[in-house]
Amino acid sequence: MLEKIDRLLSLISELSVKDIQELETFRIRYMSKKGIISELFEEFRQMPASEKKEIGRKLNILKQSVIEKYDSYKDSLSLLPSSPRLNDPSRPSFPCSLGTRHPISIVRGEIISIFERIGFSVSEGPEIESDDNNFTRLNFAPEHPARDMQDTFYISRISAGDSNPGDILLRTHTSSVQVRVMQKQKPPIRTISPGRVFRNEAISARAHCIFHQVEGLYIDENVSFADLKQTLLFFAREMYGEKTEIRFRPSYFPFTEPSGEMDVSCTICGGKGCNVCKYTGWLEVLGCGMVHPAVLEASNIDSTKYTGFAFGMGIERPAMLKYQVNDLRMYYENDLRFLEQFRSAF
Ligand code: PHE
């Protein structure tokens, strides 16, 4: 008898019920007057007293698990349309659980919508890129030390050792999409390119080997640094609030000259100083600059006629600030308890 009860216990724990009919079959089989549980209790009554204690305890556990199984299914299945209506194809499926957008997608959507409002289109490129598009046409000469700034994952290398314009790699930045756009399109060009990028970095709370960027590119006649500043000021105030201040620090990228890095006043303390901005009052948000003439020429754009600006920003950092998430790894773990907290119109 004990064995029989154990077998039934494991059967029930693994049992799954698809619809209300199956649940009814389950009820009749186990819980009705002539069901398995009643039968077992009948048998139990005739057992010698010495065995009753152990068997009685097990039997009650079995009975309880049958009831729990039944109850757990009853609630969820009773919400489903009953069987005749299942044949009605016009009925909406119900109940259906809606997924949520990933926080990175929400922030990407916000950034895109801000730039779309001022006339930027969206363009995308592949994650597997040529060294040519990722580096060479962006004015990184084959031996350029700036290649070391970005720890590249190579997929195939033509020659061992130094990189070569024919090598294939995982793009290290979305600037590779600039090159693709410039080769297809004639100025005026006004586009942003969101996407995933890859760098061989140790994974920690603040860095990951896979992350997201949004690239911006604007090329036309007479585009100046003032246009760059005004565009980014508009972006910063839309994104981080109308009181946001910006500042530029000189920087270096091979594909822009002059180059800068833009900070925004800390979104947490408003510039007074807190532990998020490390008491500086500023947060680093993007790299930018005027497109280097050599980059325009490498894609057959006349650099005597056209000028342009470009910028590139990560998505993870603003997402961390927005949602006050202090460990980047959470964005990649797909833990539903984390993801279900994000609901948004985007
Ligand atoms: N591609 C640069 C980076 O990943 C950012 C950048 C883009 C800088 C465009 C200037 C212009 O760091």
| Ligand 1 mean position, distance from CA 76 (Å) | 51
CATH of segment(s) 103-126+171-342? 3.30.930.10
Half-sphere exposure of 334 (CA within 13 A, CB side): 1
Angle at 279 between CA 275 and CA 283, to 5 degrees: 85
The closest residue, in CA terms, to atom 7 on ligand 1 is 312
Q: Is the predicted pLDDT of residue 41 greater than 80, yes or no?
A: yes
Residue nearest ligand 1's atom 9 by CA: 311
CA of residue 121 to ligand 1 center, whole Å: 18
pLDDT of residue 157: 79
Closest CA to 192 of 285, 121, 261, 287: 121
Q: What span, in angstroms and rounded, lies between the C-alpha atoms of 149 and 92? A: 53
CA 170 to chain CA centroid, Å, is: 18
Q: Which of 135, 196, 218, 253 most suits a substitution to test ligand 1, by most atoms within 8 Å of the C-beta? A: 253
Identify whether the C-beta of residue 323 lies closer than 8 Å to the C-beta of residue 316.
no
Pairing label, strands 121-122, 154-156: unpaired
**Does 320 have pLDDT greater than 80?**
yes
Report the pLDDT value the prediction gives residue 304, as an integer from 0 to 100: 97
Residue 107 has pLDDT above 70, yes or no: yes
Kindly give the distance from the C-alpha atom of residue 180 to the centroid of ligand 1, in angstroms, as a whole number. Answer: 15
Residue 200 in this model has a pLDDT that exceeds 60: yes
| Single pTM value for the model | 0.72
Spatial separation of the C-alpha atoms in residues 133 and 139, rounded to whole Å: 10
**134 vs 32, 42, 139, 278, 327, CA distance in Å?**
70, 78, 10, 33, 29
Could you give the percent of the chain with pLDDT greater than 70? 92
Q: What is the pLDDT of residues 210-226, one digit of tens each?
A: 999 999 999 999 999 99
Radius of gyration of the chain (CA): 31
Question: With contact defined as beta carbons under 8 Å apart, do 29 and 69 qualify?
Answer: no
For the chain, the structural domain boundaries read: 2-87, 103-126+171-342
Residues with CB under 6 A from ligand 1: 173, 175, 215, 253, 256, 287-289, 310-312
Q: Which of 115, 170, 175 to mutate to test the pocket of ligand 1 (most atoms within 8 A of CB)?
A: 175
Strand order in the sheet with 168-170: 128-130, 168-170, 154-156
| Residue 142 pLDDT grade (very low, low, confident, very high; cuts 50, 70, 90) | confident
Furthest-apart CA atoms within the chain: distance in Å: 104
Residue 171 CA to ligand 1 centre (angstroms): 12
pLDDT tens string 245-264 = 999 999 999 999 999 999 99
Give the chain's mean pLDDT.
Answer: 89
Q: Which atom of ligand 1 is nearest to the CA of 286?
A: 5
Q: At 200, is the secondary structure helix, strand, or coil?
A: coil
Distance 261 CA to ligand 1 centre (A): 9
